């Protein structure tokens, strides 16, 4: 018994020493690549839990990789049936009695466990990687790694990668200071490797959905709005870069809104700019649902709104960084 | 290729093999994620994020969906996440019920193991007090953000502010 206790404390000591181990840049980059590759090229099937703010949901996921590439189907097991069917970089979402819609490539690269950072370098610049202990998730051992932000503009993330394959088994986003859990993905049941029955990859909801919407051809930005050139972005929160820019048609709004998407490699922030008159509301408006923070401000007849999976201060800084040229 | 994949499953690979594997993937498939995910000048997505039909239909369905009207109960259960997650995964692995069936029932408001359910079930049946204008004000932006950012929660649950949170947020600002 004494020996066992001694062993236990030795193990505890070992794990606490290990907890401080900082990964080098190449180790960190390797980890991110390995995580992305394994999610793509392995066969796996299982059930995972998704928890954010007040909501807990489960999804069943089947992923296969062969000469034809990546095929995947995930379906919600709770609430409204929803289905996300992947064919390589394209994910089609099906809901009963709704037209199916497609997600673009970037969005398709953010689905658990196939989380591919926009820019690996950005992740390395903004987060320190710390190796934590080995955990056990869905029957598999996984190496836990903490992505600790180097400043207060973003949230810490913790990833747990299956020891042999590097497949992401668990992903958690925490609040910076109090460490509250903001968002959590975790496999509860998983089989890695082995053949996948083709039938399991077939959409079930496709037959119940409305016919697919024809894909509109991409159009150029209308000249009068002219994209980012109309606005000055000064003192943007550090570590974020513009990854996408578009005119988004928002539900319930008549006119399209300028939409800028920023990423620090892990977290994203959207900035929307629109004429203030189009939506009179008491401003500045600030809302938080823990996972996503929201801030809206009005200046020079324009309304600037920022939201993202970052601390409130960060979205606030984004709205202040935008001004009209 | 298959050999490498199985080596990967068996854990018999290292970083060099990883690089080689990645290289071979890009050769074999031509078009390719490893190059593509560095491209930030992705073709701009000009079409509307969600069609009007979609939103109308989805909102209607959401209103009819009891699970979504009762997030308060879920929130209370999830207040102490760290401990709870241990409990959840323990329950999932120990109890000889399939994880799927168990989670479905728990999400419908049945008992989560280890939590007294009485008050929470009561709360679960009460509609949440969401300040509607707040949700209306925030949600369009949230949809657009999630559709573009590819937040894995995209279209999973569009209601972002629950009653308690809306009140708290209103109290703070």
- Ordered by start, the domain boundaries in chain B are 2-36, 71-125, 132-172
Contacts of A252 in chain B (CB under 8 A): 55, 136, 140
Which of B145, B148, B156 comes nearest A50 by C-beta?
B156
Q: Is A183 on the interface with B (CB under 8 A)?
A: yes
Q: Is A280 on the interface with B (CB under 8 A)?
A: no
Residue of A25, A46, A56 best to disrupt the B interface, most CBs of B under 10 A = A56
**What count of other Cβ atoms lies within 10 Å of the Cβ of residue B143?**
23
Where helices occur in chain B by DSSP H, the ranges are 2-9, 15-29, 33-36, 52-63, 71-77, 81-94, 99-107, 118-125, 132-149, 163-172
- Dist. CA B47–CA A68, nearest whole Å: 29
The helix (run of H) or strand (run of E) holding residue A144 is strand A140-149
Among B residues 130-159, those touching chain A with beta carbons less than 8 Å apart: 134, 136-145, 147-157
| Angle, vertex CA A252, rays to CA A247 and CA A257, nearest 5 | 20
Q: Which residue of B has its CA nearest to A33?
A: B18
Domain spanning A227-324, CATH class: alpha beta
Residue contact A246–B46, C-beta within 8 A: yes
- Dist. CA A133–CA A8, nearest whole Å: 14
Task: In chain A, list all ranges with CATH 2.50.20.10.
Answer: 18-201
* B88-113: average pLDDT: 29
CB A151 within 8 A of CB A14: no
Which of B18, B161, B166 comes nearest A37 by C-beta?
B18
Q: What is the ipTM of this complex?
A: 0.74
- The pLDDT score that the predictor gives to residue A186 is 96
Q: Which CATH architecture has domain A18-201?
A: Clam (2.50)
Q: Is A77 on the interface with B (CB under 8 A)?
A: yes
φ and ψ at residue A274, rounded to 5 degrees = -150, 160
CA of B147 vs chain A CAs: smallest distance (Å): 7
Residue of A65, A85, A213, A251 best to disrupt the B interface, most CBs of B under 10 A = A251
CB A29 within 8 A of CB A120: yes
Residue contact A248–B93, C-beta within 8 A: no
Highest mean pLDDT among A212-216, A248-252, B31-35, B36-40: A248-252
**Does A242 or B140 have the greater pLDDT score?**
A242
Full pLDDT tens readout for chain A, 325 residues = 455 555 555 555 445 445 569 999 999 999 999 999 999 999 999 999 988 777 788 999 999 999 989 999 999 898 778 888 999 988 888 887 777 777 777 778 888 999 888 889 999 999 999 999 999 999 999 999 999 999 999 999 999 999 999 999 999 999 887 788 888 999 999 999 989 999 999 998 888 777 765 544 444 444 444 455 678 888 899 999 998 888 877 767 777 888 899 999 889 999 999 887 655 555 566 766 677 888 888 888 888 999 998 998 999 999 999 887 7
Residues 6+ apart with CB under 8 A from A255: A274, A275, A278
Q: Is A247 on the interface with B (CB under 8 A)?
A: yes
Residue of A77, A287, A290, A318 best to disrupt the B interface, most CBs of B under 10 A = A287
CA of B116 vs chain A CAs: smallest distance (Å): 18
**Sheet of A302-308, strands arranged across:** A241-248, A257-263, A268-275, A302-308, A293-299, A285-288
Q: Which residue of A has its CA nearest to B156?
A: A82
Q: Is B21 on the interface with A (CB under 8 A)?
A: yes
In A1-79, DSSP assigns E strands to 44-52, 55-66, 69-76
Contacts of A51 in chain B (CB under 8 A): 78, 81
Which of B15, B44, B162 comes nearest A218 by C-beta?
B44
pTM across the whole model: 0.65
Q: Which residue has the tokens 């995972």?
A: A48
Contacts of A316 in chain B (CB under 8 A): none
CA of A246 vs chain B CAs: smallest distance (Å): 6
- CB-defined contacts A:B, below 8 A: 273
- Dist. CA B67–CA B103, nearest whole Å: 13
- Dist. CA B160–CA B121, nearest whole Å: 21
Among A residues 140-159, those touching chain B with beta carbons less than 8 Å apart: none
Q: Is A252 on the interface with B (CB under 8 A)?
A: yes
Among A residues 3-22, those touching chain B with beta carbons less than 8 Å apart: none
> Could you read off the pLDDT of A294-320 as tens digits, one per residue?
888 888 888 899 999 899 899 999 999
Q: Residue B7: is it exposed, middle or buried by C-beta count within 10 angstroms (0-12/13-18/19+)? A: middle
- Dist. CA A62–CA A60, nearest whole Å: 7
CA of B63 vs chain A CAs: smallest distance (Å): 11
Q: Which residue of B has its CA nearest to A38?
A: B8
């Amino acid at each position: 018994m004494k020996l066992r206790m001694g062993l236990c404390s030795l193990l505890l000591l070992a794990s606490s020493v290990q907890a401080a181990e900082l990964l080098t840049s190449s180790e960190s980059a390797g980890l991110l690549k390995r995580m992305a590759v394994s999610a793509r090229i392995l066969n796996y099937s299982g059930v995972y839990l998704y928890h954010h703010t007040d909501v807990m949901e489960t999804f069943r996921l089947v992923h296969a990789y062969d000469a034809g590439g990546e095929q995947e189907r995930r379906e919600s097991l709770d609430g409204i049936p929803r289905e996300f069917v992947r064919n390589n970089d394209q994910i089609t979402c099906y809901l009963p009695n709704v037209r199916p819609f497609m997600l673009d490539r970037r969005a398709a690269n953010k689905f658990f466990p196939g989380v591919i950072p926009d820019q690996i370098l950005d992740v390395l610049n903004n987060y320190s990687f710390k190796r934590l202990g080995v955990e056990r998730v869905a029957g598999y051992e996984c190496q836990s790694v903490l992505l600790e932000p180097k400043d207060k503009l973003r949230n810490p993330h913790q990833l747990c990668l299956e020891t042999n394959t590097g497949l992401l088994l668990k992903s958690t986003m925490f609040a910076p200071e109090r460490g509250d859990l903001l968002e959590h993905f975790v496999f509860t049941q998983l089989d890695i490797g082995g053949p996948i029955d083709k039938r399991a990859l077939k959409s079930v909801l496709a037959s119940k959905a409305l016919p697919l919407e024809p894909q509109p051809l991409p159009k150029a930005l209308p000249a009068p709005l002219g994209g980012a050139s109309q606005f000055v972005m000064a003192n943007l929160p550090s570590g974020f870069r513009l990854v996408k820019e578009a005119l988004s048609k928002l539900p319930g709004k008549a006119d399209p809104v300028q939409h800028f998407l920023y990423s620090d490699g892990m977290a994203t922030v959207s900035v929307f700019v629109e004429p203030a008159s189009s939506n009179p509301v008491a401003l500045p408006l600030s809302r938080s649902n823990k996972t996503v923070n929201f801030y809206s401000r009005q200046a020079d007849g324009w309304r600037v709104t920022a939201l993202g999976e970052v601390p409130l201060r960060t979205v606030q800084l984004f709205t202040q960084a935008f001004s009209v040229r | 290729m298959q050999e490498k994949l199985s080596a990967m499953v068996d854990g018999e690979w290292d970083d060099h093999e990883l690089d080689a594997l990645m290289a071979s993937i890009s050769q074999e498939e031509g078009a390719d994620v490893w190059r593509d995910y560095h491209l930030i000048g992705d073709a701009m997505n000009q079409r509307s994020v969600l069609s009007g039909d979609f939103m109308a239909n989805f909102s209607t369905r959401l209103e009819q969906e009891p699970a979504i009207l009762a997030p308060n109960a879920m929130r209370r259960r999830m207040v102490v996440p760290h401990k709870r997650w241990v409990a959840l995964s323990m329950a999932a692995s120990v109890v000889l019920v399939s994880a799927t069936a168990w989670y479905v029932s728990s999400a419908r408001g049945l008992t989560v193991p280890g939590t007294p359910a009485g008050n929470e079930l009561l709360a679960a049946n009460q509609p949440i007090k969401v300040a509607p204008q707040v949700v209306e004000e925030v949600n369009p932006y949230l949809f657009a953000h999630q559709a573009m950012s590819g937040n894995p929660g995209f279209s999973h649950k569009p209601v972002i502010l629950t009653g308690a949170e809306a009140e708290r947020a209103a109290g703070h600002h």
